[in-house]
Chains A and B, each alone.
Chain A
């Protein structure tokens, strides 16, 4: 049974296109809603969208191909540093500009490398895909837990390398813990002046940022769906289920896995590039192991392999981070005040963020391990009692 059935290929067109169209329309109208109701949620929503993209990238690796990756943050960091290197004044030894929005005060070309953000998005994607292949080629023959650990190792090495890379034989590659600052804003300079916020994305009007990341997310979703239903997507499922059988049927497991790894890395890199330009300064500490785990949890909570589930997982977890945890703080304070309990009224709930997060993870796994919106095929596997063998994702612990 192909995963495509989960979306209901035989269902009515209304069911097949209605819900996505409604969701896209809602997403397109969100800035007006935010403006009209004065929600002030544009910033968190953009960050959530970045995480949706990351989660969809990781979903290709984990959900489709069944490769547990604990170091996904490495690609996110690489993408962000590509923008940091090629769209800021970091390499001030040279002065190269190409279709960039960056202008120097004197009017001449500014110091550093300044290349158009739009080109860099593609460069970042290609570069991280290449890195994915380089990292993946020697490691992907490992199975299950071992692969998870290798990726964990890479996920630790790369941010630490960025942290220490301020003096590589005298060359300052990454500016160490200080990070790379004042990254150029993206912009479409050919637009007329009436669209000035689009000529150079600013920090006051976040709409251009929002629509850019929305477009990127939609492309990611589209590519995810097409990949899932493609020959490659079916090859991923078969390699995930039984590598030996897949190989016997003429599928090259290594190439198949490498594709998954490279494509997942590419989306991670593009998300990182956007995030770098949006946040404007990148530090090695922004790319810690916790991010890898957070994205992994999004994929698992939402439902591995199910695109809607993964999107929902990303929104839910980041929503908890941005919205629910501060809310809980206020609630506890209010309860404490009404009860006259200084302990509760003064409780510093953000301090317990990771505690709450950990509890959610444990409870979710205990109560609904297949995720909020499970992939139908995965769900059947999860509720199948037979021993499927020792893979980290599909298999069961022999009891």
Chain B
């Protein structure tokens, strides 16, 4: 067999593949390709701006990915869209803000940390804020599960979805009462100066901060799920609750721990969101939650790496839409992505898997 024939065969197989695919998937691939080409054209016209926008997108995406992981962890294990998760993220940003301002429920524990404080104080403050917010959100998430979801473990899915919406309303209202209806400013603790030399490509210290917090969290989560006994139990419960219970896994505790993990990530994400954007507001959880949910769906809900990839992609799509389409169309672009992904590839880019592996594909 000559090389020419081999090439012919390969191209023949490719043609066959194209022929056998549905017109919808062909159209979808064509549209995505055109969009990528258009973006690359922009990238060639102004590489500096394009790269900066890409980096901002990745940073935003990291924040979204942390929330998306909470959705996907919970969905993977109890098949519930945890509507309250976005609002838990908002509570996380409020807790962080309260810690930084030193006024935990009017106790005035220490003087507020502001942009003028010393570097050591700033670092300590941010770390304490992160830890407190993570703990608070983890606890809230576990509490919500105990009160509102656990009693409904055997009810129709819709009943649990409604209680999730109810909890979302409750948290949002708590936020409204706590910090009021207006946007609340975050102290400007992390420099917005460019971390890279020169000013063609902008990658601020703020972005460095987000990446520096996100990467260890992701590595930690990955280690927890892959290597610890509890992580293995989570995977087992995600695959088959009854079988997991039969081999002696405490299913209820495992579900609680899943909610705890989701809450911890949401708390960290909330504090970072506040520090990164300089503001937070009581209903920020709704939009960010929906973006994160879109990210989870885009990556393949129930799939942990999918949530991270989806989060980063949504971040980049959002920042590109901000730059090249217009900020006010960004939300529509992201929701259009959500709809298109679900219509053309409901299992997401990396496939629909429960928690980390196996199972679940039959329920699509």
Count chain A residues whose beta carbon lies closer than 8 angstroms to a beta carbon of B.
53
Instruction: Given A143-B364, A365-B152, A397-B78, check contact A149 B173 (CB 8 Å).
Output: no
Count chain B residues whose beta carbon lies closer than 8 angstroms to a beta carbon of A.
53
Distance A352 CA – B177 CA, assembled complex (angstroms): 8
Q: Are B332 and A362 in contact, CB atoms less than 8 angstroms apart?
A: no
Q: Which residues in A have their C-beta under 8 angstroms from that of B152?
A: 365-366, 369
A353 part of interface (Cβ distance < 8 Å): yes
Question: Of residues 84 to 138 in B, which have CB atoms within 8 Å of A's CB atoms?
Answer: none
Q: Are A161 and B174 in contact, CB atoms less than 8 angstroms apart?
A: no
Distance A359 CA – B338 CA, assembled complex (angstroms): 30
Q: Are A145 and B165 in contact, CB atoms less than 8 angstroms apart?
A: no
Q: Are A397 and B79 in contact, CB atoms less than 8 angstroms apart?
A: yes
Q: Which residues in B have their C-beta under 8 angstroms from that of A28?
A: none
Distance A362 CA – B165 CA, assembled complex (angstroms): 8
A193 part of interface (Cβ distance < 8 Å): no
Distance A398 CA – B294 CA, assembled complex (angstroms): 25
Question: Of residues 308 to 364 in B, which have CB atoms within 8 Å of A's CB atoms?
Answer: 328-329, 331-332, 335-336, 338-339, 342-343, 346, 362-364
Q: Are B335 and A153 in contact, CB atoms less than 8 angstroms apart?
A: yes
Q: Which residues of A contact B (CB under 8 A)?
A: 68, 138-139, 142-146, 148-150, 152-154, 156-157, 160-161, 163-164, 289, 293, 296-297, 300, 351-355, 357-362, 364-366, 369, 381-382, 385, 390-399
Residues 240-254 of chain B: 1 if any A CB is under 8 Å from the residue's CB, otherwise 0?
011000000001000
Instruction: Given A142-B342, A153-B338, check contact A354 B153 (CB 8 Å).
Output: no
Q: Which residues in A have their C-beta under 8 angstroms from that of B346?
A: 142, 146
Distance A148 CA – B331 CA, assembled complex (angstroms): 18
Q: Are A365 and B293 in contact, CB atoms less than 8 angstroms apart?
A: no
Instruction: Given A361-B166, A397-B79, check contact A355 B174 (CB 8 Å).
Output: yes
Q: Are B163 and A366 in contact, CB atoms less than 8 angstroms apart?
A: yes
Residues 287-317 of chain B: 1 if any A CB is under 8 Å from the residue's CB, otherwise 0?
0001001100100000000000000000000
Q: Are B162 and A153 in contact, CB atoms less than 8 angstroms apart?
A: no
Q: Which residues in B have their C-beta under 8 angstroms from that of A397?
A: 78-80, 153-155, 157, 160
Chain B residue with minimal CB distance to A382?
A: B156
Chain B residue with minimal CB distance to A355?
A: B173
Q: Are B338 and A149 in contact, CB atoms less than 8 angstroms apart?
A: yes
Instruction: Given A355-B170, A393-B158, check contact A164 B338 (CB 8 Å).
Output: no
Q: Are A362 and B148 in contact, CB atoms less than 8 angstroms apart?
A: yes
